[in-house]
Amino acid sequence: MKLPSDTILEIAKNKLRAYLLNPNHPDGKAKADFFIANGINSETEWQFENLLKQQATQHEISKQLTTPFGIKYIFESPIVFPNEKTHVIRSVWIREATEKVIKFVTAYKI
């Protein structure tokens, strides 16, 4: 199953900059090291955002979970990075119970 075509996806800038691309973040350091090594940085962050949104709109949902906070959507598929290497990435998104927008939670290599 895929997300409906009219789905609105949102990625908070601080989720990318302060977490996934921050090599000093206590929980995100390993993720930042991986993404930076594959060509994602402040200049290509817009490209990374587009790649994550493409993954969520063009691929099947790998897993869907109902939580007390809303519905989580998990995607697992290959992504071609700016350095032209391909890695399978898991991205996690959530539609909170009272929202129409699906918000980005995290992403990492699997």
Residues of the chain with pLDDT under 70: none
Matching residue, tokens 């980005």: 104
Domain layout of the chain by residue ranges: 9-109
* pLDDT at residue 98 in the model: 82
User: What is the rounded distance in angstroms from the CA atom of residue 73 to the CA atom of residue 4?
Assistant: 12
pTM of the entire structure? 0.93
Sheet with 86-96, side-by-side order of all strands: 9-10, 102-109, 86-96, 70-80, 63-67
* pLDDT at residue 73 in the model: 98
Measured between alpha carbons, how far is residue 99 from residues 10, 14, 59, 69 in Å?
Answer: 11, 20, 22, 11
Q: Which helix (H) or strand (E) holds 43?
A: none
Contacts of 86 (CB under 8 A, 6+ apart): 78, 79, 80
* pLDDT at residue 36 in the model: 96
User: What is the rounded distance in angstroms from the CA atom of residue 79 to the CA atom of residue 66?
Assistant: 26
